[in-house]
Amino acid sequence: MKMDFRAAMRHATKLAGAQNVIEATRAIQRSLLGREPADQATPESSRLSAPPTNVAGELEVFELAPHDAKIAGAQLHEILPERPRAPRIRMPLGEVLKVLRQADLPSLHRGPASFAKSRKGHSTPVPDGAIYLTRTFACEAGSRDYKIYVPSNVGTHKCSLIVMLHGCTQDPDDFAVGTGMNQLAEEHGFIVAYPKQSVNANQTACWNWFSLADQRRDAGEPSIIAGITRTIMVEFNIDARRVYVAGLSAGGAMAANMSATYPELYAATGIHSGLPHGAATDVISALSVMRSGSNAAAPALNKVRSKGADKRVRTIVFHGASDQTVHPSNSEVIFAEARADLTHPAQVTRHDGSTGGRAYTRRVIVDADGHPHAEHWVIEGLGHAWSGGNPDGSYTDQHGPDASREMLRFFTGIPD
C-alpha cells in the first residue's frame, strides 16, 4: 500500500473518537484503496462520491492481508466494541460505513448530513436544526430499536407525539420516507417515533399482531411499544392528551392492538390496510382473516382488552378497495366496532369524492359533542399501499387522498 495501514487506522480511530465518523470512514477508504493521506487527497466534492464499484456495478470488495486484517480488527474494535475481532476481514466499503454509523455518535443524527433511507435506497435529508435519533428500549417482554424525529421548530412547550408502526419487510427509515410523516412534523411541530420490529421476533419484520401473547396489555409487543411511547413522553415533554398511534398492514393491526390494550395512552389511532384487534389467534387464522375478512377468531379475544377500560380510542381507517393482501372487509369490522362503542345513537355521514385520480368514499361517525369519533376511507383502485404516499418508499401509492395528512387532521381535530 502507498500509506502505512497501522497509522491510517490510528488516525481513523482518533477521528471517530472525536465524533467525526465521516472523515474516519474516508481515512479507512483511502487506506484500503492505497491512496495518499488526507492532506494530499482529492477535493471534497469528489471524495463525497459513491463508493467504488466493479465492472458489474457491484460494490468493490476489499480483502486485507492477515497482518493488516489483524490491525484493522483491533482498531475497529476500539471504535465499535460490540463488533467481534476477526483474523480476516472481507467486507464492502459500504458495509464499513454502515458499521461506523451504528456507533451511536450524535453528530450523524443532526443537521443536513443526516438521512432517512427507504428500502429503495432513496434518502430524505433531515433539515438543519432537526434531530433524527436512534434509540433502544428494553423491558421484561424484550427490547426493540426505535427512531425519533424531532423537528427544528419544536420549542419548550408541550407538543404532540405520533407513534408510527411499519408494515412487513419495512423499517423505520423506509416508513418515514413513504409516509412523509417527518415532513409533516416539520410543518406542524410534532414529534414522530418509529419502533422497529426485530427480525429475531419475526423473520419478515412483521409485528406479531396475530399472536395471543402480543395482543394483551402489559405483555409482549404491546408492552414494548407502550414503554417506548412513555419513555418518549417523559424525555420530550409530550402532552399526554395528544399522543397517537398509526400503522400500515401488520403495523396497522398492531396499532389496533395498542388502542385496545392501552386506551388511556393514545388519544386516537390510524389504521391503514390493517386488521381489527382480536381478528386472529395464530398464523393460520391470521392468513384466513387476511384473505377472507372472516372475524371468527374475535370472540376468543373479547376478554383480552385492558381491564376496566371504559373508553374506545378515536379511530381513522384507510383501505384500498383493490387490496389483495388484506381483505377490505377488515376495515369494515374496525369501523363497525368503533360505531358500536358509542352509547348514543351514532350519526353517520357519507362523503364521496376524488383526489389524485382515485375516487373514494369517506364515512364519518360523530360523538355526542359533534366531534369525529371514527372515519372510514375506502379508496377505489388502491391496492395494499399507503394512500398518497411517497413512491420512494415501499408499499406506497402516490395517487388518491393523502392518508398522512388526513390522519393528522383527524388526530388533532378536537380542540383542547
Q: What is the pLDDT of residue 367?
A: 80
pLDDT of residue 113: 38
Among candidate residues 76, 136, 151, 72, the one with its CA nearest the CA of residue 104 = 136
Average pLDDT of span 202-231: 97
Please tell me the predicted confidence (pLDDT) of residue 317: 98
pLDDT band at 5 (very low <50, low <70, confident <90, very high): low
pLDDT in the model for residue 34: 52
| Tens digit of each residue's pLDDT (9 = 90 or more) over 239-261 | 999 999 999 999 999 999 999 99
d(CA 95, CA 97): 5
Tell me the H-state helices in 250-402. Answer: 250-261, 283-292, 329-340
Vertex 241, ends 236 and 245: CA angle to 5°? Answer: 75
Q: Is the pLDDT of residue 52 over 60?
A: no
* Average pLDDT estimate for 339-354: 82
* DSSP-assigned letters across all residues of 213-245: GGSSTTSHHHHHHHHHHHHHHHHTTEEEEEEEE
**Percent over 90 (pLDDT), the chain:** 56
The one-letter code for the residue type at 338 is A
Q: Report whether 331 contacts 271 (CB < 8 A).
A: yes
21-30, 140-149, 289-298 — which is least confidently predicted?
Answer: 21-30
Please write the tens of the pLDDT for every residue from 217-235: 999 999 999 999 999 999 9
Identify the band that residue 40 occupies on the pLDDT scale cut at 50, 70 and 90.
very low
Query: What pairs with residue 169 in β-bridges?
Result: none
Beta strands in 38-141 (DSSP E): 61-63, 90-92, 115-117, 123-125, 131-139
Burial of 283 (0-12, 13-18, 19+ CB in 10 A): exposed
Would you give the distance in Å from CA 300 to the centre of its chain?
A: 30
At 348, the pLDDT band (50, 70, 90 cuts) reads confident
Model confidence at 1, pLDDT cuts 50, 70, 90, reads very low
Strand partners, 134: 147
Relative to beta strand 90-92, strand 372-379 is unpaired
Does 198 score more than 60 pLDDT?
yes
7 phi/psi in degrees, rounded to 5: -65, -40
pLDDT of residue 12: 63
Task: Mark 248-258 as b/e (b = at least 16 C-beta within 10 Å).
Answer: bbbbbbbbbbb
Domain 110-411 matching CATH 1.10.287.1770: the answer reads no
pLDDT tens figures, 85-133: 333 344 444 444 444 444 333 333 334 435 677 777 777 778 889 999 9
The yes-or-no verdict on residue 56 having pLDDT over 70 is: no
Q: Considering the chain, what is the average pLDDT of its residues?
A: 78
For residue range 256-310, list pLDDT tens digits in order. 999 999 999 999 999 999 999 999 999 999 999 999 885 544 444 444 444 434 5
Q: Which residue has the higher pLDDT, 386 or 344?
A: 386
> Helix or strand or coil: residue 333?
helix
Interacting residues of 275 by C-beta distance below 8 A, sequence separation 6+: 209, 252, 253, 256, 289, 290, 326, 330, 334
Other CB atoms within 10 Å distance of the CB of residue 241: 10
* pLDDT number for residue 48: 31
What is the rounded distance in angstroms from the CA atom of residue 95 to the CA atom of residue 98? 5
Name the residue with higher pLDDT: 307 or 344: 344
So where are the chain's domains? 5-101, 110-411
Give the residue with greater pLDDT, 235 vs 25. Answer: 235
Residue 300 half-sphere exposure, CB side, CA atoms within 13 Å? Answer: 12
Cell of 404: 398522512
pTM score, whole prediction: 0.72
Beta strand pairing call for 159-165 and 191-195: parallel
pLDDT digit string (tens) for 388-405?
A: 999 999 999 999 999 999
Q: Helix crossing, 181-188 with 403-411: angle to 10°?
A: 40
Q: Tell me the C-alpha distance between 269 and 258, whole Å.
A: 9
pLDDT at 77: 36
CB-side exposure of 387: number of CA atoms within 13 Å? 32
Q: Which are the contacts of 413, defined by CB distance < 8 A and separation ≥ 6? A: 371, 372
Give me the percent of the chain exceeding a pLDDT of 70.
67
CB count in 10 Å sphere of residue 203 = 9
137 alpha-carbon distance from chain centroid: 15
Q: What is the pLDDT of residue 45?
A: 33
Q: Please name every residue paired with 269 in a beta bridge, in sequence order, or none if there are none.
A: 245, 315
